[in-house]
Amino acid sequence: MDTLAQLAAGFAVALTPYNLMWCLVGVTVGTAIGVLPGLGPALTIALLLPLTYKVDATAAFILFAGIYYGAMYGGSTTSILMNTPGETATIVTSLEGNKMARRGRAGAALATAAIGSFVAGTIGTIGITFLAEPVVNFALKFGPAEYFSLMVLAFVTVSAVLGTSAVRGLTSLAVGIFLGMIGIDLQTGQPRFTFGLTELLDGINVIVVAVGLFAVGETLYLACFRKRADGEVLAVEDSVWMTREDWARSWKPWLRGSAIGFPIGAMPAGGAEVPTFLSYFVEKRLARKPEEFGHGAIEGVAGPEAANNASAAGVLVPMLALGLPTSATAAIMLSAFQSYGITPGPMLLQQQSALVWGLIASLYIANVMLLVLNLPLVGLWVKMLKIPEPLLYGGILIFATIGTYGISQSQVDLVLLYAMGIMGLFMRLFDFPTAPVIIGMILGPLAEQEFRRAMTISQGDMMIFLQKPLSLTLLIVAAIAVLGPQVWRLQRGPSVPRSD
Amino acid sequence: MDDRGIGRGPAWGDAAVGVAVLALAAIVGWQTTLIPTNAIYAQVGPKVIPWMATAMLAVLGTLLTWQGLRGGWEHEEHGEFNVWALAWLLLGLALNVALIGVAGFIIASTLLFVCTALAFGSRKVLRDTTIGFALALLSYVGFDRVLGYKIGSGLIEGLL
């Protein structure tokens, strides 16, 4: 019951007109950037990080959470109507959703995506509400050694397991860890990797890296290496609502998608790709008309959309309860905590209880607002898809400039931004994932801190990580996650036929 | 490791990426030796994790180079390289850095906007200039004056 009392107090915070306004701004901006191809929540929150100097922490996090949830709703509109998913998490939605739109059923697809997102988002938020405290209570038993091993596990799963290649994912992570180490070492006061530049003493701002990789890199890639993609936006011919049959075929996939998405999102691995694909295959298997899959089956939109939103909610559990970000967006939100001087981690729930519960309550409110924004007002968002590309990317680069120049007024940061953009271009060309860079950059210094604490306790004995049972278990799981697939592949021999 | 290219010639691009990662490992290792340390902190000092990062980059760089030499990895299909788009974008970015301090954010950003639009194939320069200017002006007022970002001063900013 204590949880419900806390939640009620959270609603008292979230329902003040001031915080409601930030929630509304957040979900509106979030939906807009979710709809626009090329913009994502990580980039947008990074651009808005300087707001943390101006706005109080609760309002800022309500805004960021609104953007985060909103982008999930908006992304489905684009993948249904344009077949060019803005985010990997919505690839699956476009498989069936775009086919439905081509058959003149865009309205039903949008409706099942929006209502499914609402159902899953609400279930996911209930999950956060009741899971946060037990996770915190468990985590309070962690010492620095256990924490370090947990972070190693998160590193491995976000970079090696979820992407297409463990080697490339880990390379991105290592680059991120390197970028995170630049600047003054906080424990000894020694400068590291500053190359004699005073501008680098404070470290590289995560805004510069995120905006460089996501905005400048993507713009460079699209301008220089565009495929002849059909940028056609399908019209919404039917009404944005569902028939009785659509409801009957949607409600179970929504619930199953939520059940698949939330636990996977809440694990220290995170990631929305796995649950959406999993949900798609489950629905294909259970569907009464499996032959419709590939031609616009509504279950194939309802399930993955729900899984996507539930896993997005799940990611907030390790972020709020452990201070462990498992997606680029969560990593950037974590850096916002740091810029308020708030230490993320298990103590957060006690020390910043009004902030955390206000944030959780605002997630319920955001879901309701998003349902309204995305059902009756969907026509408005469809219009945004018609912004011509030259103007859209011109605008993105202007905002990128504001986000970086606006923090420091330093041309060095602009040059760094462009360097990151060029790195992003090459990462895109050679198929390296970008999210591990951001996660490594934010989580790397935290992992180093725990590592050194553990080593101080053990007086420099590395064995401490293997002597504590929980720490050892986490490291073994991490090792299996990296090496398991490779060993399995080797055992099957190199005779695996190539797909081409 | 995904050595999918058995039996094919080396993929020089992929191998070059591997070499670049090795070069980064060398730089990180070299810079790590330059971090001053106090003997008291030797085992928990500021060098331990940097050495781990160096080792990680070295191993991964070696693996990537090896994969590259053995035929490379599979890539997403890319369109044909558009050199003019790159030229316009680089010009826009260079103008932005060069002018943002002297002429101010609004002028620099308008030029960046126009160059980006040209890179994306727009030929309506007058329209793009108008829209770019309006957007830069609005963003300046919104972010600098209302939201409190510090975007600096400039020729047009001084008039506002």
Counted domains in chain A: 1
Give A238-296 as a DSSP string.
S-SS--HHHHHHHHHHHHHHHHHHHHHHHSTT--SHHHHHHHHHHHHHH-S-GGGTTS-
Query: Cβ contact (<8 Å) for A223 and B85?
Result: yes
So what's the pLDDT on residue A482? 83
Interface confidence, given as ipTM, is: 0.91
How far, rounded to the nearest angstrom, does the alpha carbon of residue A56 sit from its chain's CA centroid?
A: 23
**Element of type H or E holding A192:** strand A191-192
For the range B107-112, what are the long-range contacts, defined as Cβ-Cβ under 8 Å and sequence gap of 24 or more?
B107/B154, B107/B155, B107/B156, B108/A401, B108/B154, B109/A398, B109/A401, B109/B135, B109/B136, B109/B139, B110/B136, B112/A394, B112/A397, B112/A398, B112/A401
Q: Are A75 and A117 in contact (CB under 8 A)?
A: no
Four-point Cα dihedral A393, A395, A398, A404, nearest 10: -70
pLDDT in tens, A172-207: 999 999 999 999 888 888 889 988 888 888 889 898
pLDDT band at A458 (very low <50, low <70, confident <90, very high): confident
C-alpha span between A162 and A17 (Å, rounded)? 40
User: What is the average pLDDT across A396-423?
Assistant: 90
A492 in a structural domain: no
Say what the pLDDT of residue A95 is: 82
The answer to whether position A231 is within a domain reads: yes
A chain contacts of residue B56, beta-carbon cutoff 8 Å: 170, 174, 177
A201 Cβ neighbours under 8 A, 6+ residues apart: A183, A184, A191, A194
Q: Name the token pair of B135.
A: 């957007």
- Tokens describing residue A9: 């107090």
Which value, in Å, is the radius of gyration of the alpha carbons in chain A? 22
Percentage helix, strand, coil, to 5, in chain B? Answer: 65, 0, 35
More confident residue, A13 or A268: A13
Stretch 43-72 of chain B: residues touching chain A, C-beta under 8 Å: 43-46, 48-50, 53, 56-57, 60-61, 63-64, 67
Q: Residue A134 is encoded by which pair of tokens?
A: 């037990």
Amino acid letter, A308: N
Task: Measure CA A23 to chain center.
Answer: 18
Q: Where are the domains of chain B?
A: 12-69, 83-159
The answer to whether B77 and B37 have CB atoms below 8 angstroms apart is: no
Of residues B37 and A36, which shows the higher confidence score? A36
**Position A500 confidence tier, pLDDT thresholds 50, 70, 90:** very low
Short-list A478, A433, A435, CA closest to A148: A478
Calculate how close chain B gets to A14, using CA atoms only, in Å. 22
CA distance A60 to A23: 9
Q: Is the pLDDT of residue B103 over 50?
A: yes
Question: Quick check: A414 and B100 CB within 8 A?
Answer: yes
Number of H helices, E strands in chain B: 5, 0
Instruction: Measure in Å the smallest separation between the Cα of A85 and chain B Cα atoms.
Output: 15
Answer yes or no: is A177 within a domain.
yes
Asked if A347 contacts A318 with a C-beta cutoff of 8 angstroms, the reply is: no
CB contact under 8 A, A195 and B31: yes
Amino acid symbol at A63 = L
**Per-position DSSP letters for A90-105, written without gaps between them:** GHHHHHHHHHHHHTT-
Give yes or no for B85 touching A (CB within 8 A).
Answer: yes
Residue range A382-408: mean pLDDT, rounded:
88
**In this model, does residue A36 exceed pLDDT 90?**
no
3-class DSSP state for residue A231?
Answer: coil
Q: What value does the mean pLDDT of chain A take?
A: 87
Please report, as a single letter, which amino acid is at residue A284: K
The pLDDT assigned to A486 comes to: 73
Measured between alpha carbons, how far is A299 from A294 in angstroms, rounded to an integer? 11
Q: What is the CA radius of gyration of chain B?
A: 24
- Choose from A235-249, A335-349, B95-109 the range with maximum mean pLDDT: B95-109
Amino acid at A330: A
Q: What is the pLDDT of residue A496?
A: 41
Distance CA A494, CA B111 (A): 54
Among candidates B14, B86, B96 on the partner chain, residue whose Cβ is nearest the Cβ of A414: B96
Contact between A326 and A158 under an 8 Å Cβ cutoff? The reply is yes
Q: Is the pLDDT of residue B1 over 50?
A: no
Q: Is B95 on the interface with A (CB under 8 A)?
A: no
Beta bridge partners of residue A191, listed in sequence order: A184
| pLDDT tens-digit readout, B25-63 | 999 999 998 888 766 655 677 888 999 999 999 999 999
Closest CA to A25 of A1, A44, A5, A3: A44
Closest-CA distance of chain A to residue B33, Å: 10
User: How many Cα atoms occupy the beta-carbon half-sphere of A361 within 13 Å?
Assistant: 24
Check CB contact of B135 with chain A, cutoff 8 Å: yes
How far is residue A355's CA from residue A13's CA, in Å, rounded to a whole number?
8
d(CA B160, CA B157) in angstroms, rounded, equals 5
pLDDT tens per residue across span A58-100: 999 999 999 999 998 888 888 888 876 556 667 788 888 888 8
Residues A394, B1: C-beta atoms closer than 8 Å: no
Q: Who contacts B82 (Cβ-Cβ below 8 Å, separation ≥6)? A: A223, A224, A225, A226
A230, with CB counted inside 10 A (0-12, 13-18, 19+), is: exposed
CA–CA distance, A16 with A4 (Å, rounded to integer)? 19
Question: Percentage of chain A with pLDDT > 90?
Answer: 41
The domain in which residue A298 lies consists of 2-486
